[in-house]
Structure 1
Amino acid sequence: MHPFRAAVEARDLDAVEALLAEDVVFTSPVAFKPYPGKPITAAILRGVLRVFEDFEYIREIGDPDGRDHAFVFTATVNGRRLTGCDFLHFDEDGKIDDFMVMVRPLSAAQALADAMNAQFEQISREAVAGAAADHGAA
């Protein structure tokens, strides 16, 4: 099992964050523009795990020695069952530098958008706190 999948399934958000590159770019299934940077990506992932119910990876696709991996998952958001996929690219150091998520069907994507919008203030606070912590550690 890939370390990313193991960390998510264990809900070990510190381990997930440790796998993110500082310059990671997160592309959401429900937002138009990508989110650059580790603090906001980590905060979004924390928010997602708060809104997903019954989250489970059902398939892992990728060359074990390659830098591109796809993780197919199922979850429920506000009563809507969804299927999605995390598409990850890993840099030369083994850190995630590109993180794109796609989900279906549309009704579940809309439920996810609504649930994440409700998390926006907390996500913003966590991102600012994460950036400050990273800046203070530098």
Structure 2
Amino acid sequence: MSSVMQAWHRIVEQQDGSGLDDLLDDDVVFHSPVVHTPQRGKAITRLYLTAAMQTLNAPGHFQYLRELVDGNHAVLEFQTEIEGVLINGVDMIEWNDEGKIIDFKVMVRPLKAVNAIHQAMGQMLERMK
């Protein structure tokens, strides 16, 4: 397993966004399943990923099901649950040769799950302000 993926799994398991500063490139691009435009930069990506960890990683619910790594790219399928809604999604991660994440895309299904994430993430981001 790549050192980037090891670091990412450690951050998710510990729900500790502080490790993101070392893992994210300054110019990272984040693609949200609910925000139309890509979010650019370390600060906004850290904010979204930290909020997602707190929103989606309810104890006993979030788990990665599969992981495919090819060079500097990884696709991680996950599932979790928010208020009884089963969420199935994919994290697509790309990193540079320095081991910094440069692109992070999240895709979620079904539509009911997208709506649940949109609402829960909106509430979490408001609390984090």
Instruction: Classify the TM-score, shorter chain.
Output: 0.7 to 0.9
2:120 is aligned to 115
Residue identity opposite 1:80 in structure 2? V
- Cα distance in 1, alignment partners of residues 52 and 127 from structure 2: 12
C-alpha distance after superposition, 1:17-74 (max 9, x if no partner): 42111100100011101111111111111111221121111111112xx111011111
2:109 is aligned to 104
| Alignment match of 2:96 (pick from 76, 82, 91) | 91
Give 5+ residue unaligned stretches, structure 2: none
TM-score for both structures, normalised by structure 2: 0.86
Report % sequence identity. 37
C-alpha distance after superposition, 1:76-98 (max 9, x if no partner): 12221111111001012110000
Q: How many residues align?
A: 122
Look up the SS of the partner of 1:121 in the other structure.
Answer: helix
| Alignment match of 2:82 (pick from 49, 65, 77) | 77
- Cα distance in 2, alignment partners of residues 117 and 41 from structure 1: 15
Runs of 4+ in 1 over 6 A off after TM superposition: none
1:36 is aligned to 40
TM-score for both structures, normalised by structure 1: 0.81
| 1:5 and 1:57 in contact (8 A); partners too | no
Give 5+ residue unaligned stretches, structure 1: 126-138
| 1:72 and 1:84 in contact (8 A); partners too | yes
Look up the SS of the partner of 1:23 in the other structure.
Answer: strand
| 1:9 and 1:56 in contact (8 A); partners too | no
Root mean square deviation, CA, Å: 1.5
| 1:8 and 1:16 in contact (8 A); partners too | no
